[in-house]
């Protein structure tokens, strides 16, 4: 059991989509555990899906934003702004039992929803890291770790599986999420920006410099000074690499290949930043075994993904047929599902 953050320093690669699919499938296949999803993103996309999709989910998020206290991650952050250096042990008050709102979600999945108010609060969180006690920076960076601790105590468990959906930018909330997590799942797509992002994750998190002239990130320096922990890279998920609408299949392949080389290179230079899966055999020695342990591909789920997100139905629970999407009909084919459901199931089976 561990805390997994889904992060890449790039938007639109599938962090939220995969957080939703992975957390639901993990909860379904681990009915003996309670699973926690933390949505640390102001867009709250993963929360919207979990709470029922574009119609129901958005309505629920609106309701939560006027609840008092606000039962979202922003509610918790507000409470910590008022007590930055002492945990109030109140984290469990913000939990939502998702099944009570969306019947398609496994009953053992709990959520602390994302909230657009995070943006407004960000400068106050950053502000709290500066004055105050010598270890202010470290105390503030532990807020989400405190929150997870509160949930563990309230559930009376010593261990917990948590999935954190992050904002792409390496802002204060992503920093807090990184400090709270043990393992990192990095979704990427087939483009040059993804290739750059693969490198910048290394610098931003671990301070690995590409060139001598580069600066180390302040986060990596301070994390070391304060001896805070960092996540290890658990896997890279190439998402939607098989999109058919690329004009040049060859150019597309070249990009995917270049990203593969980049990732392999990261491993060869920095194997200590990776989490070698005990279930996946010994540390990889060649590119093929590396790929087997650390790289996955998630196919483009086409109409099924649209229905899954719009209605908040995990793809593994979706059935073939016609679905009504806010007034329009979408058809999900069994042949699509036959490919996509095992794809998500297999990915989740590799997550301990």
Ligand X SMILES: Nc1ncnc2c1ncn2[C@@H]1O[C@H](COP(=O)(O)OP(=O)(O)O)[C@@H](O)[C@H]1O
Give residues in contact with ligand X (CB under 6 A): 11-17, 45, 239-240, 298, 300-301, 305, 309
Closer CB to ligand X, 189 or 203, in the complex = 189
Number of chain positions touching Mg ion (CB under 5 A): 3
Task: Kindly state the smallest distance separating residue 318's Cβ from ligand X, in Å.
Answer: 12
Taking CA atoms, 280 is separated from 83, 294, 328, 333, 345, in Å, by: 43, 9, 44, 33, 16
Residue 298 interaction partner, one of ligand X, Mg ion, none, beta carbon < 5-8 Å per kind: ligand X
How far is Cα 81 from Cα 54, in angstroms, rounded to an integer? 31
Closer CB to ligand X, 60 or 165, in the complex = 165
Closer CB to Mg ion, 168 or 280, in the complex = 168
Closer CB to ligand X, 145 or 308, in the complex = 308
Task: Kindly state the smallest distance separating residue 15's Cβ from Mg ion, in Å.
Answer: 5
How far is Cα 233 from Cα 274, in angstroms, rounded to an integer? 4
Task: Kindly state the smallest distance separating residue 344's Cβ from Mg ion, in Å.
Answer: 17
Cβ-based neighbour number of residue 101 at 10 Å = 18
Closer CB to ligand X, 82 or 245, in the complex = 245
Q: What one-character-per-residue DSSP string does 157-203 give? A: -S--EEEEEE-SS-SHHHHHHHHH-SEEEEEE-SSHHHHHHHHHHII
Task: Kindly state the smallest distance separating residue 99's Cβ from ligand X, in Å.
Answer: 22
| The binder of Mg ion chosen from 34, 45, 48, 138 (CB under 5 A) | 45
161 beta partners: 35
Query: Rule CB under 5 A: is residue 15 a binding residue for Mg ion?
Result: yes
The two structure tokens encoding residue 212: 């001598």
List all residues 6 or more positions away from 4 whose beta carbon is below 8 Å from its beta carbon: 22, 161, 162, 163, 164, 181, 182, 183, 184, 185, 234, 351
Residue 34 interaction partner, one of Mg ion, ligand X, none, beta carbon < 5-8 Å per kind: none
How far is Cα 175 from Cα 220, in angstroms, rounded to an integer? 10
Return the residue nearest Mg ion (CB atom).
16
List all residues 6 or more positions away from 286 whose beta carbon is below 8 Å from its beta carbon: none
Closer CB to Mg ion, 16 or 217, in the complex = 16
Sign of CA dihedral 216, 12, 248, 242: positive
How far is Cα 101 from Cα 110, in angstroms, rounded to an integer? 11
| The binder of Mg ion chosen from 16, 87, 102, 220 (CB under 5 A) | 16
Of the ranges 38-46, 57-65, 223-231, 282-290, which one interacts with Mg ion (CB under 5 A)?
38-46
Query: Rule CB under 5 A: is residue 305 a binding residue for Mg ion?
Result: no
Between CA 206 and CA 213, with CA 211 as vertex, the angle to 5 degrees is 100
Residue 301 interaction partner, one of Mg ion, ligand X, none, beta carbon < 5-8 Å per kind: ligand X
Task: Kindly state the smallest distance separating residue 54's Cβ from Mg ion, in Å.
Answer: 15
Interface residues with Mg ion (CB under 5 A) are 15-16, 45
């Amino acid at each position: 059991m561990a805390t997994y953050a889904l992060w890449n320093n790039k938007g639109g690669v599938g962090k939220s989509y995969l957080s939703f699919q992975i957390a639901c499938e993990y909860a379904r296949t681990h009915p003996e555990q309670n699973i926690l999803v933390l949505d640390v993103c102001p867009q709250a996309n993963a929360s919207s899906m979990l709470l029922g999709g574009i119609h129901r989910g958005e309505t629920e998020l609106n309701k939560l934003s006027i609840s008092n206290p606000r039962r979202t991650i922003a509610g918790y952050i507000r409470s910590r702004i008022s007590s930055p250096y002492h945990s109030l042990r109140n984290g469990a008050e913000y939990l939502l039992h998702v099944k009570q709102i969306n019947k398609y979600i496994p009953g053992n999945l709990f959520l602390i929803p994302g909230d657009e108010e995070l943006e407004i609060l960000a400068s106050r969180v950053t502000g709290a890291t500066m004055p105050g006690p010598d270890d202010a920076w470290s105390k503030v960076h532990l807020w989400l770790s405190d929150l997870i601790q509160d949930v563990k105590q309230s559930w009376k468990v010593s261990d917990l599986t948590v999935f954190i959906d992050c904002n792409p930018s390496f802002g204060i909330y992503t920093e807090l999420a990184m400090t709270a997590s043990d393992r990192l799942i990095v979704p990427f797509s087939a483009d040059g920006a993804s290739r750059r992002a693969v490198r910048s994750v290394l610098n931003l998190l671990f301070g690995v410099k590409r060139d001598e002239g580069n600066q180390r990130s302040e986060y990596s320096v301070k994390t070391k000074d304060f001896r805070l922990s960092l996540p290890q890279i658990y896997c890279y998920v190439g998402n939607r690499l098989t999109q058919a609408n690329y004009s040049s299949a060859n150019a597309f392949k070249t990009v995917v290949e270049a990203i593969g080389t980049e990732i392999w290179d990261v491993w060869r230079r920095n194997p200590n930043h990776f989490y070698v899966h005990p279930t996946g055999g010994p540390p990889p020695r060649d590119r093929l075994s590396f790929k087997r342990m650390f790289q996955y591909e998630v196919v483009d789920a086409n109409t099924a993904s649209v229905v899954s997100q719009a209605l908040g139905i995990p793809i593994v629970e979706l059935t073939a047929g016609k679905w009504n999407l806010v007034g329009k009909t979408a058809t999900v084919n069994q042949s699509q599902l036959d490919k996509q459901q095992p794809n998500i199931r297999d990915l989740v089976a590799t997550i301990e």
